[in-house]
A and B are shown apart, each in its own frame.
Chain A
Amino acid sequence: MFEELKDIVGGENFSDSLTERYIYSSDASIYQSLPSVILRPGNTEEVQEILRYANKEKIPVTPRGAGTGEVGGAVPIDGGIVLDLKRMNKIKEIRIGDLLCRVEPGVVNDELNKELKKFGFFFPPTPGSGKVCTIGGMIANNASGMRAVKYGATRDFVLGLKVVLPQGELVSLGTQTIIHSSGYQLERLMVGSEGTLGVIVEATLRLKPLPEKRAVGRAMFYKLEEAGKAISAIVARGLTPSALEFLDEIVIKSINAAFHSGLPEIEAIVLFECDGNKVSIDDEMDKIKKVCQEFNSFRIDISNDPKEMEKIWEARNAAFPATSRYQEDLARVTLAEDVTVPISKLSELIVNFHRIASENGIIICTYGHAGEGLIHTSFLIDPESSQQWERAKKAVAEAFALTQSLRGTTSGEHGIGITKAPYFKKERSESLEMMRKIKKALDPHNILNPHKLMDAPDDFFTATQLRYAIKE
């Protein structure tokens, strides 16, 4: 049955071996589900042919970039074809005069920025996974990173897209201009569509000039609540840091345990960065420092030395992987990873997350893009214990209910996929029908990344197989 698919991409870009399928059955989420076949198309025509065939034969197709998504977006929940787009990795053109570039979906974020740097420009949304994640995956998830507080998310940089629709038709959406008000902004519809509406085969992205200078600061707080208040005040007073991050005590301890960083084990550390020219940076850094002092930060270090700045950020970047080292019998599982609330509600959210954790007898640590109201929550459990999963499930439900009561949203940057679908459906109950109509219109046979987002199962735990060997 797959001979025709093999003919499209060639034998070396086709695999139905069990080993290969097993490896492509998971991403950075908690799930695994075997595809029947993996295809690695090299150009738009091949993607079109694959989708035409899949649509005719009603075979599910799951697009995949680097597979770093944390919500199961690239997990083929219904089996079928995994479409690995990493071979389509050409930077087609960089037009500095027009402030844009055109790239294929498999271009890696950092590779693009390496090229742009030669011109003194950059593509700002860089997520923590920027070293390996692809532009296609970033657009499909509307990814963002530490600097979104100043520059915005991926959606703010997508000017135009070429997309292969589920029936194989190629469409150009958006423009190659910095602005447009020419009708529906369909390119934006594709941003955050998580591979359910079309396969992105080319993106026209807006560029920004690299700032002349950066400076980084680190403020220590004995009290978490005071750190939260300082963050709200920084934003409310019109200051515009290019990053504003925070780490809680468990994260700090984890970083120390994993990397011997020697950070003081206090309730909160706030990290901030300003970019621009020297005068403006000095002024902004000074003002942020004063706000932190006002809320009782007992120590503030500021640096513009590249090595030292890197060291300060290293601790922040280590947060995600380090949490699994907090305690020998626990590991991090990706659940409510990126809830986001209005910035003024941040400390309330964090304090209550810790309450939920202790009421349910598990550990949740919090850190993240505070300046955007986004909190990464690491759930630390023994992932092979069914009892601990039961507790985690309860805590997750409570965490999302709390987020919604604070008028927050289920996902700030990682997307919905399978893991967060039940809570997303509650949050967006009024627009689910519209989403389903759009999906039906574009994908009548429901072949493209089926059973994700609004169509995902209502119980994230039983939605598909988990990648852990859970024991009773």
Chain B
Amino acid sequence: METKNLKKWKKEMLVCIRCAYCLENCPVYNQIGWESAGARARMILSYGLLTKDIECSDSILEKFFQCTTCGQCEVNCPAKVKILEVVKASRKDLVENGHYFPPHQLMQEAVKKSGNVYGEEKKEKEIIQKSAEYALFVGCVGTYREEESVNRTIKLLKKLGVSFTRFDELCCGGVFPDLGFENYQENVQHNKEEIKKTGAKKLLTICPMCYKTFKNNPEYSDLGLEVVHITQLLNKLNIQVKTEEIVTYHDPCDLGRHSGIYEEPREIIKKFAPHFVEMEKNRENARCCGAGGGVRGSFTRLSIDMAKDRLKEALDKKADVLLTECFSCLHNFKNAKKRKQNIKIYNISEYLSILMEGGEK
């Protein structure tokens, strides 16, 4: 198998001391229990593929695509190996050699065809105002799977007097490099043009994956405006509501480990929730919800089991409400929640909106 992407990361594979620290707290290893589920195994397999000591097989493909790319292993790694770069390079080489999971390819086709990862008919958006400080980008998961949550967040922004506009957005494409596929450049171009047309000074995202993509992906480097995550914005605003409920917070991997935004969400929550509790694993050690890296699409059972484990941590803390600020986490937790479990699950902005409407005190 040709490994032109992996080649660039050979040093990382040689630096890996095979210490297995990356197994600790790896959400996939915690579920599966076999060493093959952790990052060390992926380093071993990557070097094996690079040196042609092994050939690709269905089970190797499975090992590479069972990773949620949550980044916990990189936090643990004492050698600071760029594990995710190696995993992504392996995935890219696999895909380029014709080895991939059909749902991932379908996703790419869907994005080309309809501009969203679900291949669904485009939803019309309310263009709120023409000239505004922020251009709001909602993203696929919110628009097509968590519409109610999005509507509440929009209501909140209006209520707080945030000057924002929406535009004709298409999938940002952030998921594709994680899956070994190329982003669809026409969508990138479209997004850049539409954002420019709004005349806004800042791009506001709710989804942390979109935030990370616009902020860091080279294809958006000429965007020319500041990218802001909604937790950064809300933290600056005056929030007057309160709740007596016990509230906890789940750090989305894309917001926490991948973007370093840990404190803003907590600062906001503490303003309205005096009974805030941390889960045992938090901030850079927060357990992944299991939705990322294409795992939800290809290994649904595994993905839900990871979400159940994280949910259990919130329940152990006797939380009434589990907050996060990511539509993927939100969606996965809701799917994992059993009917008899009383915990409520919201994005922070969504919950705030409900509180401001006078609900759920």
Contacts and interface: CB of A to CB of B under 8 A. Distances in A.
B284 to A, nearest CB: 15
Interface string B44-58: 110110010110010
A19 B36 contact: yes
B167 to A, nearest CB: 41
A358 B282 CA distance: 47
A129 B17 CA distance: 11
A314 to B, nearest CB: 10
Interface in A293-337: 317-318, 320-322, 324-325, 328, 331-332
B357 interface: no
Contacts of A20: 34, 36, 59
Contacts of A325: 15, 79-80
Given A66-B23, A87-B33, A321-B19, A22 B45 contact: yes
A322 B19 CA distance: 13
A19 B11 CA distance: 23
B327 to A, nearest CB: 33
Given A15-B34, A132-B20, A132-B21, A383 B44 contact: no
Contacts of B274: none
A21 to B, nearest CB: 10
Contact of B44 (A26, A258, A317, A469): A26
Interface string B5-47: 0000001001101111101100000000111100001001101
B24 A321 contact: no
Contact of A22 (B34, B48, B77): B48
Interface residues on B, range: 20 to 34
A17 interface: yes
A309 to B, nearest CB: 18
A239 interface: no
A23 B41 contact: yes
Contact of B45 (A23, A68, A87): A23
A23 B17 contact: no
Using C-beta atoms within 8 Å of the partner chain, give the interface range for chain A: 35 or more
B59 A17 contact: yes
Contact of B18 (A27, A38, A86, A317): A27
Given A15-B34, A26-B44, A469-B53, A320 B78 contact: yes
A119 interface: no
A376 interface: no
Contacts of A383: 14
Given A324-B79, A469-B51, A19 B19 contact: no
Contacts of A317: 78
A444 B53 CA distance: 35
B315 to A, nearest CB: 21
Contacts of A322: 79
Contact of A132 (B24, B34, B54): B24
Contacts of A320: 17, 19, 78
Contacts of B33: 40, 86-87
Given A324-B15, A324-B79, A383-B14, A131 B21 contact: yes
Nearest to A21: B36
Interface string A6-39: 0000000001011110111011100000000010
A259 interface: yes
Contact of A331 (B14, B24, B78): B14
Nearest to B42: A23
B302 interface: no
B84 interface: no
B246 interface: no
Given A17-B59, A18-B59, A321-B80, 9 more contacts: A19-B36, A28-B18, A66-B20, A68-B19, A132-B24, A258-B80, A331-B14, A331-B15, A469-B53
Interface of B: 11, 14-15, 17-21, 23-24, 33-36, 41, 44-45, 47-48, 51, 53-54, 57, 59-60, 63, 76-80
14 contacts: A18-B59, A23-B36, A27-B18, A67-B35, A86-B33, A129-B19, A317-B78, A320-B17, A320-B19, A321-B77, A331-B11, A467-B47, A469-B51, A469-B53
Report, nearest first, the 6 A-B pairs whose CB atoms are least far apart.
Answer: A321-B79, A469-B51, A331-B14, A19-B59, A321-B78, A324-B15
